[in-house]
Amino acid sequence: MSMTKRPGQSVVLVAAVVVVVAAWSGIVNACTLVEIPFGDGVEFVTSRSLEFPGIFGLPVAHEWRLVSHPRSEGTTYNDALPGGIDHHRSNPYGFVSIDAVFRPNHESDRDILHILSGDGMNEFGLSVSPHSFATSQYQRIAPLKQNIFYLYFVPWALGNFKTADDLIASLRTNVSVVNPAHIGGVAKFHWSVSDATGASYVIEYLNGEVHAFDNTAVRVMTNDPSWPWHVQNLNTYASVSPNWSDGGTQLAVETPVGRVPSVVSNGYNLVGLPGDLTPQSRFVRTWYMKEILLHNRMNPLDRDQAIMTATALLNSVFIPKGSLASALEDEFNETKVREADFTQWNVCKLPVTGEYMFRSYENMQWKRVQLSNVDFSVGATPIMIDIFDGTLGIQDLV
């Protein structure tokens, strides 16, 4: 969260975060993450979608930026939160993240606050992706531990750890991730954490305790319920197969219209996969599609094929604006569309080579930032790139 603190700005920042995230509470529940192996199976493309309804009447809606955060951009807001909770300590490692932008009183770019990181990756390939998770129950403030406000988990983790295992070890020993008692009614999150070694975890806080679930065998994540429930729910669809259907030949009979049942087209191996956009269905569909397409390939994917595969799977869970029912049926935005989740942006990350790609709802062309070309040195000027560029990305060829 790259900013220069001015007197009283920490209070404004925290208030802005709480107001904005409170607007998401109860209506944001549609993010999907999938990791695709390529080459020798050690490298992965980590891809995710972010769904979000816009923020009612607040200037942050559609204001997302990719921001670089140089090393040791130390800014602490202990005075703004109770119990000495850290907003953001000095970070020894540089990172990029997609941040929600808040402009107090429509101030200039010089005064904007980057109030919430929706995704990010650091210079060592550590990747953190928050997804809404209403089940979360965070920890109590612990006087002898470092207390981290859960809304600032992403920049704290990216700025202070090289690997997922190091981060989890700290969470299990000397860190409490907390939600101050006076800050209620806001959206909660769990996090996907992966790195350049191929490690992958889902971090959830359940009943006030941290759980780090090993995601290396599954490599999919959505939202509620808890991640273990989703994994067990895959058993419900065990009839889905990578193989050509036999068409129930053992039951076939001759009829005036031909032999039935029989296979008349392809795709029957996927019969039974859910097609709706609930977290449960997105998890099932994404995992089975990923595993089937990997199974049916004769050779491992190369880098470009992995990116294309990740893109295709993201497309399969793309949510058009206005397609989901709104929890607030009488609330309309400026375009007279009921406010509900839609796919604001997608991300593809390559931790080993330090490539961070994004695309937006309007412009589906991938744009890439190579972290090796970003100046993360102390005092470097942060880069800021608008996620929504105001175009559809259409290129005229003739």
DSSP string over 101-159: EE-GGG--GGG-EEEEEEEEEETT--EEEEEE-TT---BPP-TTSEEEEGGGHHHHHHH
Q: What is the pLDDT of residue 171?
A: 98
Confidence of residue 56 (pLDDT cuts 50, 70, 90): very low
Q: What is the pLDDT of residue 180?
A: 78
Strand, coil or helix: 253: strand
More confident residue, 24 or 374: 374
Question: On the CB side of 363, how many CA atoms lie within 13 Å of its CA?
Answer: 17
Which range among 17-26, 62-71, 167-176, 372-381 shows the weakest confidence by mean pLDDT?
A: 17-26
Q: What is the pLDDT of residue 134?
A: 92
Cα(198)–Cα(57) distance, rounded to whole angstroms? 41
314: pLDDT strictly greater than 50: yes
Q: Secondary structure of 254-293 in the HEC alphabet?
A: EECCEEECCCCCCCHHHCCCCCCCCHHHHHHHHHHHHHHH
4: pLDDT strictly greater than 50: no
Q: What is the pLDDT of residue 365?
A: 96
77: pLDDT strictly greater than 90: no
Over range 317-344, report the average pLDDT: 71
Q: What is the pLDDT of residue 357?
A: 98
Q: What is the pLDDT of residue 67?
A: 94
Q: What is the pLDDT of residue 182?
A: 53
* Rg of the chain (C-alpha set): 22
Q: What is the pLDDT of residue 296?
A: 93
Strands 127-132 and 95-102: unpaired
142: pLDDT strictly greater than 60: yes
81: pLDDT strictly greater than 70: no
10: pLDDT strictly greater than 50: no
- Give the phi and the psi of residue 167 in degrees, each rounded to 5: -60, -45
pTM above the 0.95 mark?
Answer: no
82: pLDDT strictly greater than 90: no
Over range 54-62, report the average pLDDT: 45
Q: What is the pLDDT of residue 345?
A: 95
17: pLDDT strictly greater than 90: no
Q: What is the pLDDT of residue 290?
A: 97
Residues 3 and 113: beta-carbon distance below 8 Å: yes
78: pLDDT strictly greater than 80: no
Q: What is the pLDDT of residue 268?
A: 86
Over range 19-26, report the average pLDDT: 49
Over range 334-357, report the average pLDDT: 84
Strand, coil or helix: 248: coil
257: pLDDT strictly greater than 50: yes
Strand, coil or helix: 40: coil
Over range 56-60, report the average pLDDT: 40
- The dihedral region occupied by 379, where left means phi > 0, alpha psi between -120 and 50, and beta the remainder, is left
Over range 8-19, report the average pLDDT: 48
Q: What is the pLDDT of residue 30?
A: 76
Cα(51)–Cα(346) distance, rounded to whole angstroms? 9
- With a CB cutoff of 8 Å and minimum separation 6, the contacts of 116 are 17, 20, 21, 99, 100, 151
More confident residue, 8 or 396: 396
Query: Sign of the C-alpha dihedral, residues 224, 227, 228, 232?
Result: positive
pLDDT tens column, 169-201: 999 999 999 987 656 556 899 999 999 999 999
More confident residue, 284 or 142: 284
Residues 87 and 43: beta-carbon distance below 8 Å: no
Mean pLDDT score of the chain:
84
pLDDT tens column, 196-228: 999 999 999 999 999 999 999 999 999 999 999
Strands 127-132 and 43-52: unpaired
Strands 146-149 and 175-178: parallel
Q: How many helices (H) and strands (E) does the chain have?
A: 6, 18
13: pLDDT strictly greater than 80: no
More confident residue, 289 or 101: 289
